[in-house]
């Protein structure tokens, strides 16, 4: 039986790696090629003082370590048993299509008698087989959820002090980012902040793959690709860690939506997931699947794998457990639209990734008044949506802590992205709702046009704008219908629809 798939909807579309408003492949990105066909496989941030014995150093014990309690078994998506058809979309390749449907690309090639797997055309109809599992993933829990998220559990962890104390290759490493030399520890901190991923986990992954944290002379092949993910435009520590952080987030947030049935490994092996792991462990498995084959996958996700590396660096990961990350009945504090009264802005992006494609759909976009298109200087002001202290202001990003403790990893925080450097608010300032943040721009990350990217986090976790805790701004409630960037702002009988451009349909003002 062959079913016609008319439209892919839902958060699982994250697996397609498609994001058109704020992000794009990096410079030099090459099209995917099947193996054997010529392919190639921060600013100032204010935190509370840190004690001399910085949190996160290894806690040694002679007693046996406890075994984490398995999570309650979740209801996984029912594996598809039918062959379906799929029409190739712009930007597709067989690898992306296979990942989306959780099968191997070789299965698609065989079923469709494809001669050259690197040549598929937009509109070409492919038959997609049902998943065929070659093994079942272990149920071993590697880390708690709070050790994947940049959360209260690591709010006072001093990355620089830890890296210096270990005195490995990372301690002396530097690479240019945005034209400025940046030390290795700073790169770890920046990726952890941007993606809201725990820096301890990034360090453990780096050590597991290359020994950069503890060895002064790691293997030569890791100097350009420290995570051993060999893709031409992923050179350097920042690009490697950003790639990993995005996948850590992807596994974490998709698992929370019960949207994963299989892990597709680097050799295209299809591994059935265990339903008793936690979201944090799912995030780790999601990045390791790109780095391992079936021969070494099970060891990597066992007690002898990355878990053992984490243990050697920081001690038992579950001593850092912070629960609940998201309390039941979580309510958003009162917030307003992030612009001044009388200014007519355009709602250009419904719920989409808070940072890159893997994070929860925490963000919405607004374009400032005017007729100009693309990247242009704007005199309009972005203003604070709620009262709170500015704890970060650099690289086009402003982070505001809303709970008064000056630490964005605890409680509610707001991200205002693509804020121009000129007249941007400074770290340490306390703003009331309506006070000026800065001007919208294209600065920070990738942007196709001057706009504001607005997102929320709670305890460091991205809070989806179309979740059970929707973003509410001056009574306007965000809503989506399963397609990234599509969505509405609804207030009573009024509705504003997200459009990529300026139109009476997406105009909004205070």
CA distance 368 to 310: 45
Kindly give, in sequence order, each residue whose CB lies less than 8 Å from that of residue 407, ignoring residues fewer than 6 positions away. Answer: 47, 48, 152, 155, 391, 401
For the chain, what are the domain ranges?
2-22+80-130, 145-320, 345-508
Scored b (16 or more CB within 10 A) or e, 386-420 reads: bbbbbbbbbbbbbbbbbeeebbbbbbbbbbbbbbb
Kindly give, in sequence order, each residue whose CB lies less than 8 Å from that of residue 78, ignoring residues fewer than 6 positions away. Answer: none
CA distance 285 to 278: 11
CA distance 461 to 483: 21
The CATH homologous superfamily to which domain 2-22+80-130 belongs is LysM domain (3.10.350.10)
Residue 343 pLDDT > 70, yes or no?
yes
Give the model confidence (pLDDT) of 139-152 as tens digits.
Answer: 999 999 999 999 99
pTM assigned to the model: 0.86
Residue 43 pLDDT > 60, yes or no?
no
**Region of poorest pLDDT, from 60-64, 84-88, 255-259:** 60-64
Residue 94 pLDDT > 60, yes or no?
yes
Give the model confidence (pLDDT) of 430-482 as tens digits.
Answer: 999 999 999 999 999 788 899 999 999 999 999 999 999 999 999 999 999 88
> What count of residues does the chain have?
510
Residue recorded with tokens 């301890």? 200
Class of domain 345-508: mainly beta
Give the per-residue pLDDT at 498: 97
Residue 36 pLDDT > 70, yes or no?
no
Q: Provide the sign of the torsion angle of the four alpha carbons 500, 501, 505, 506, taken in this order.
A: positive
β-pair type (397-401, 270-272):
unpaired
Give the per-residue pLDDT at 287: 98
CA distance 169 to 215: 6
Contact in structure between 137 and 166 (CB atoms under 8 Å): no
């Amino acid at each position: 039986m062959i079913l016609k798939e008319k439209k892919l909807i839902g958060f699982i579309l994250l697996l397609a790696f498609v994001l058109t408003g704020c992000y794009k492949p990096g410079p030099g990105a090459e099209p995917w090629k099947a193996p054997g066909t010529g392919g190639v496989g921060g600013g100032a941030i204010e935190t509370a003082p840190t004690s001399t014995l910085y949190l996160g150093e290894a806690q040694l014990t002679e007693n046996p370590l406890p075994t984490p309690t398995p999570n309650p078994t979740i209801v996984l998506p029912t594996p598809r048993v039918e062959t379906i058809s799929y029409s190739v979309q712009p930007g597709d390749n067989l690898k992306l299509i296979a990942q989306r449907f959780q099968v191997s690309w070789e299965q698609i090639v065989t079923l469709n008698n494809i001669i050259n797997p690197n040549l598929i055309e937009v509109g070409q109809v492919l038959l997609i087989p049902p998943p065929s599992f070659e093994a079942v993933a272990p149920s071993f829990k590697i880390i708690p959820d709070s050790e994947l998220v940049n959360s209260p559990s690591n709010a006072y962890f001093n990355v620089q002090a830890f890296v210096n104390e270990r005195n490995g290759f990372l301690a002396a490493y530097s690479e240019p980012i945005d034209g400025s030399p940046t030390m290795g520890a700073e790169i770890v901190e920046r990726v952890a902040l941007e993606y809201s991923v725990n820096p301890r986990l990034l360090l453990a992954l780096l050590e597991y793959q290359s020994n950069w944290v503890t060895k002064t002379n790691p293997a030569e092949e890791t100097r350009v690709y420290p995570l051993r993910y060999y893709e031409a435009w992923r050179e350097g520590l920042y690009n490697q860690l950003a790639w990993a952080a995005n996948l850590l987030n992807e596994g974490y947030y998709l698992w929370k939506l019960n949207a994963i049935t299989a892990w597709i490994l680097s050799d295209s092996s299809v591994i059935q997931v265990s339903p008793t792991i936690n979201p944090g462990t799912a995030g780790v498995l999601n990045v390791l699947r790109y780095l391992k084959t079936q021969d070494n996958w099970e060891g990597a996700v066992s007690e002898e794998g990355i878990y053992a590396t984490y243990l050697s660096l920081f001690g038992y990961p579950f001593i850092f457990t912070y629960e609940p990350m998201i309390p039941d009945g979580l309510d958003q504090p009162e917030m307003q639209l992030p612009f001044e009264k009388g200014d007519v802005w355009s709602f250009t992006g419904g719920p989409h990734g808070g940072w890159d494609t893997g994070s929860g759909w925490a963000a919405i976009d607004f374009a400032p008044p005017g007729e100009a298109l693309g990247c242009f200087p704007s005199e309009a002001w972005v203003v604070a949506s709620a009262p709170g202290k500015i704890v970060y202001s650099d690289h086009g990003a402003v982070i505001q802590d809303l709970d008064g403790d000056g630490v964005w990893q605890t409680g509610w925080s707001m991200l205002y992205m693509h804020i121009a450097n000129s007249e941007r608010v400074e770290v340490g300032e306390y703003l009331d709702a309506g006070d000026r943040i800065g001007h919208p721009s294209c600065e920070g990350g990738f942007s196709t046009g001057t706009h504001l990217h607005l997102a929320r986090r709670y305890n460091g976790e991205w809070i989806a704008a179309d979740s059970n805790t929707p973003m509410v701004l001056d009574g306007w409630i965000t809503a989506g219908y399963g397609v990234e960037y599509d969505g509405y702002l609804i207030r009573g009988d009024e509705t504003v629809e997200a459009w990529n451009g300026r139109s009476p349909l997406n105009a909004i003002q205070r």
